[in-house]
């Protein structure tokens, strides 16, 4: 293989040298997070959330929770401001920022809504597809003190938790985010994630997707 071609192929796997934390002085110690999956977080527009919630409100009843697959016509409704267009645009930004890749095609396997109430977990799982994501449509009111409660694994109730590897010395393998309505996370489909059950009132409603992407070489 030509050395130049090999170099270009390897370049996409090379991590950046951005400092994620600086500590102390004389001398300063810089910390990097160069390896592993990248998780992106962005805010989705309120009108998009309103449209999706209106569709779900007409089809979700009671307080027992459910899952609801979105028809393709609903995902495409609104043209350039549709759910599918918004997510495809965020996927392009994610891959451009992560490995400077230009996306030539995004194919969605499916979109679905998950409605949960107090005491309902989302067990550890991964998705199909190249990329997946979670868009929070509604978040519950967690009882006082519940946020501070941690489980043996270190995961926090009501949060979305991403896991990789295990308990390895000198290595981080878990990150937890407190969701807010409008928060949109994008991550590799193979990345394990989980949501612990919460105690409190209201609904935790989220939208998830699986996508396959093609990039220009």
| Structure tokens given for 4 | 């130049």
Range of lowest pLDDT (36-45, 48-57, 104-113)? 36-45
The pLDDT-based confidence of 205 (bands split at 50, 70, 90) is very high
Give me the residues paired with residue 183 across strands: 43
Q: What is the pLDDT of residues 138-166, one digit of tens each?
A: 998 876 554 545 444 444 567 888 888 77
Span 105-124, mean pLDDT? 91
Q: What is the pLDDT of residue 63?
A: 79
More confident position, 185 or 100 = 185
Reported pTM: 0.87
Q: What is the pLDDT of residue 3?
A: 59
Q: What is the pLDDT of residue 58?
A: 93
> Which SS3 state, helix, strand or coil, does residue 65 take?
coil
For every residue of 104-143, which 3-state class applies, written as one string?
Answer: EEEEEEEEEEEEECCCCCEEEECCCCCEEEEEEEECCEEC
Q: C-alpha dihedral over 125, 126, 128, 132, to 10 degrees?
A: 120
Q: What is the pLDDT of residues 159-199, one digit of tens each?
A: 888 888 777 888 888 888 888 999 999 999 999 998 878 87
Q: What is the pLDDT of residue 29?
A: 78
36 Cβ neighbours under 8 A, 6+ residues apart: 164
| Structure tokens given for 112 | 């679905």
H-type helices in the chain, by residue range? 3-11, 46-57, 72-76, 83-99
Range of lowest pLDDT (60-69, 170-179, 206-215)? 170-179
Give me the residues paired with residue 196 across strands: 157
Q: What is the pLDDT of residues 14-41, one digit of tens each?
A: 777 788 889 888 878 788 877 788 899 9
More confident position, 5 or 112 = 112
Across 4-18, 43-57, 145-159, the highest mean pLDDT is recorded for 43-57
Q: Which residue has the tokens 């694994």?
A: 153
| Structure tokens given for 16 | 């950046």
Q: Give the N- to C-terminal CA distance of the chain in Å, as an integer.
A: 16
| Structure tokens given for 17 | 């040298």
């Amino acid at each position: 293989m030509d050395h130049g071609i090999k170099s270009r192929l390897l370049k996409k796997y090379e991590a950046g040298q951005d400092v994620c934390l600086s500590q102390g002085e004389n001398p300063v110690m810089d910390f990097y997070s160069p390896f592993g999956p990248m998780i992106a977080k962005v805010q989705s527009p309120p009108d998009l959330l309103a449209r999706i919630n209106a569709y779900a409100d007409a089809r979700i009843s009671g307080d027992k929770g459910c899952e609801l697959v979105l028809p393709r016509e609903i995902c495409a409704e609104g043209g350039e401001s549709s759910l599918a267009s918004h997510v495809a645009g965020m996927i392009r930004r994610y891959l451009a920022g992560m490995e400077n890749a230009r996306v030539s095609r995004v194919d969605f396997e499916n979109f679905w809504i998950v409605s949960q109430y107090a005491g309902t977990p989302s067990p550890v799982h991964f998705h199909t597809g190249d990329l997946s994501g979670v868009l929070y449509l509604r978040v519950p009111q967690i009882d006082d003190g519940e946020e501070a409660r941690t489980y043996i694994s270190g995961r926090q109730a009501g949060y979305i938790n991403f896991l990789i590897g295990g308990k390895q010395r000198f290595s981080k393998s878990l990150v937890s985010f407190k969701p807010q309505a409008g928060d949109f996370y994008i991550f590799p489909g193979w990345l394990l994630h989980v949501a612990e059950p919460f105690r409190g009132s209201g609904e935790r409603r989220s939208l998830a997707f699986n996508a396959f992407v093609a990039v220009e070489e």
